């Protein structure tokens, strides 16, 4: 959903992003994944930009909506931990 996070994901898990997000380690390191691969490198720069990419922000919020609505309380909890439930 957010290709701009692919390099960060690959770096965090030391493997291509597509493989990393389906790896069990992605769930174990969910908070790091969200902080180091989405919030810090992608979302926050857009929110503080004078000319944010509205399509990118829309994809980010769609992703956040999916996290908040996830069936796993652990995954939903990550969104609350990140403070995304306030947006």
Expressed in percent and rounded to 5, the helix, strand and coil fractions of the chain are 75, 0, 25
Residues near 15 by beta carbon (within 8 Å), at least 6 away in sequence: 23
Q: What are phi and psi of 71, to 5 degrees?
A: -70, -25
- Judged against a pLDDT cut of 60, whether residue 8 lies above it is answered with yes
84 or 28, greater pLDDT: 28
Query: Three-class SS of residue 53?
Result: coil
Q: How wide is the angle at C-alpha 8 spanned by C-alphas 64 and 57, nearest 5°?
A: 35
Q: What is d(CA 14, CA 87) in angstroms, rounded to the nearest whole number? A: 31
pTM, two decimal places:
0.79
pLDDT in tens, 14-69: 999 999 888 777 777 888 888 899 999 999 999 999 999 999 999 999 988 898 89
């Amino acid at each position: 959903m957010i290709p701009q996070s692919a390099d960060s994901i690959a770096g965090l898990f030391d493997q291509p992003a597509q493989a990393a997000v389906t790896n069990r380690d992605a769930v174990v390191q969910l908070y790091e994944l969200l902080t180091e691969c989405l919030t810090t490198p992608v979302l926050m720069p857009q929110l503080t930009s004078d000319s944010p990419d509205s399509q990118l922000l829309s994809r980010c919020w769609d992703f956040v909506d999916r996290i908040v609505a996830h069936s796993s309380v652990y995954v939903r909890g990550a969104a609350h931990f990140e403070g995304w439930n306030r947006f």
